[in-house]
Amino acid sequence: MGDIFSNLGLGFGVVFQFVQWTPAFLGGASIPIPVNILLCLIGALVGTLVGVLPGIGTIATVAMLLPITFGLPPVGALIMLAGIYYGAQYGGSTTSILVNIPGEAGSVVTALDGFQMAKRGRAGPALAIAAIGSFFAGCVATVLIALLGAPLTKIALAFGPAEYFSLMVLGLIFAVVLAKGSVLKAIAMIVMGLLLSMVGSDIETGASRMAFNIPELADGLGFATLAMGLFGFAEIIRNLDAGGETDRKLVQEKVSGLMPTRQDLKETTPAILRGTVLGSILGILPGGGAVIASFAAYTLEKKVAKDPSRFGHGEIRGVAAPESANNAAAQTSFIPLLTLGIPPNAVMALMVGAMTIHGIVPGPQVMQKQPELVWGMIASMWVGNLMLLIINLPLVGIWVRLLRVPYRLMFPSIVVFCCIGIYSVNNAPTDVMIAGAFGLIGYWLIKHDFEPAPLLLGMVLGPLMEENLRRALLISRGDWSVFLTRPLSAVLMAIAAALLILAVLPSLRKKRDEVFVESEN
């Protein structure tokens, strides 16, 4: 217990750190400024700002905003990125409540009841409940990360290469099973991501692989480049198809009366609690994340409700539960990343990319060698949630105005912003072209119902998987049974196999599709 408090203490110490700023114009006088809090605030604000723009999901937002953290020291950059991440999440729910265009998959469910509430002039309470639920879930998740962080790190240190490989296989299988759509196609996307990650030089022999003597490919495909292509450019192109303006019906009523009534609070408290628990669990699971959490929470709420028919017609619990769940999951999905070094979903994969750019390799070693970084980030999550609660409600008016910006002006801006961002990673024009190519590939994938998110996950896990596979086989002298003879590895593999079989079984698949479909109707 003592450990946890000292760790959290360390974290809050980092977050509330003051840096003496001595500008020349003050003639030697220095002003203490809380840099990390400011970065957290800016991150949350900018994240919300971009997340609010319809048609831009969380992954695209984080990818687009990656470059603005490059110039910062690692701790500050991570704190800001985390801020951007939950800012984007919150922004997504704002759009779905006000315009019925979910910015991201996670808030599709929020749009169901949230938009109905908005149409009846109850947008204020819907937004407020979303914020309150998110904040509560965020508090619980922060404590959970602090509790689980240290013990999981200890387990991770006992892992050998075989266990790591099996764990990654399990994670990828989980990602496939918990995702929407065809299992087969999702696996294919992961393998394609793994293949793409092989481009560049081989870690052990240094041989150039599939790089075709193009110097820019010698170091491999840039992660940020790929993400911005697949999620930024591809989304833009697809939205242009949809015709942008036609289906944007903004709630015209003024957003007034923010506070939910006492009755609302009474109704939503259990929903928020259930959502938080469900979201926390689904977030920790490898492959889990915000999307599945919000769908599952909505389905659960509908199941326990006395009168399920009210859902879809402006039921406030249909906003509270998924919003709490997706925020809880968004945060607990940091647990596998920070303790095991394995990103459980595409957004976390982006975080790995960001950390690598700053020279940090996430995993148990970071937890031990740079505790201020990890705990600072964890503490900043709580602070960030608090800020979102405080700043967002008064700023709803501004977000509404942002929503009125027509798409015809927004999309060229995003194109330019992404271009500059990609270029600034390496100062390489080739990167911009590669991103453009992946934009077209992403558009094609969307048209054929392939999800690009598993591809990103495979891309990040590729080098790790290959390295551990090689090591495991080297240690076992080429014996493939090592994955089944080492007990821990065998258990992980068995779970993965069982999951895969279950997912393909018709009865469970029907159930899984039900979770997604039912909440959409």
Partner 1 sequence: MNASPGHAPVKSIMPKWVRNPQEFVGGIALMAIAVFALWASSDLQGMRGFSFGAGTAPRMFGFLLLGLGALITVVGVVTEGPHLAKYHWRGPFFVTIAILTFAFTIRSMGMIFAAMAAFLIAACGSPETRWTETLIVAVCLTAFCALLFPYALGLPLQLLPTFMIR
Q: Are 134 and 330 in contact (CB under 8 A)?
A: no
List, in order, residues 6 or more apart from 41 with CB less than 8 Å away: 83, 387, 391
Restricted to residues 375-434, the positions that interact with partner 1 (CB under 8 A) are 406-409, 411-413, 415-417, 419-420, 423-424, 427, 429-430, 432-433
505 part of the interface to partner 1, by CB under 8 A: no
Per-position DSSP letters for 386-441, written without gaps between them = HHHHHHHHHHHHHHHHHHTS-HHHHHHHHHHHHHHHHHHHHT-HHHHHHHHHHHHH
Other Cβ atoms less than 10 A from the Cβ of 487: the count is 9
- What are the beta bridge partners of residue 20? 32
If binding is defined by CB under 8 A, does position 435 make contact with partner 1? Answer: yes
Helix (H, G, I), strand (E, B) or coil at 24: helix
Q: Annotate 396-410 with DSSP letters as a single string.
A: HHHHHHHHTS-HHHH
Please identify, using beta-carbon distances, which residue of 101 and 146 lies nearer to partner 1: 101
Kind and range of the H or E element at 201?
strand 200-201
> Which of helix, strand or coil describes residue 211?
coil
Residue 248 lies near partner 1 (rule: CB under 8 A): no
Nearer of residues 126 and 177 to partner 1, judged by Cβ: 177
Give 395 or 428: the residue with its C-beta nearer to partner 1.
428
Residue 411 or residue 483: which is nearer to partner 1 going by CB?
411
Can you tell me which residue has the tokens 């928020």? 272
Are β-strands 19-21 and 200-201 bridged in parallel, bridged antiparallel, or unpaired? unpaired
- Residue 214 binding partner 1, by CB under 8 A: no
Closest approach, Cβ 201 to partner 1, in A, equals: 9
Q: Which is nearer to partner 1, 11 or 454 (CB)?
A: 454
What CA–CA distance (Å, rounded) separates 318 from 107? 11
**Residue 240: CB minimum distance to partner 1, A:** 3
Q: Is 481 in the site for partner 1 (CB under 8 A)?
A: no
44 token code pair: 């949350």
Contact call for residue 183 and partner 1 (CB under 8 A): no
- Of the pair 2, 478, the CB lying nearest partner 1 is at 478
Residue of 194, 226, 349, 354 that binds partner 1 (CB under 8 A): 194
Place of tokens 């509908």: 302
Question: 34, 470, 488, 509: which one contacts partner 1 (CB under 8 A)?
Answer: 470
12 vs 417 by CB, closer to partner 1: 417
Question: Pairing mode, if any, of strands 200-201 and 208-209?
Answer: antiparallel
Interaction site with partner 1 (CB under 8 A): 67-68, 70-71, 184-185, 187-188, 191-192, 194-195, 198, 202, 204-205, 207, 209-210, 212, 233, 236-237, 240-241, 243-245, 406-409, 411-413, 415-417, 419-420, 423-424, 427, 429-430, 432-433, 435-436, 439-440, 443-444, 447-450, 466, 469-470, 473-474, 477-479
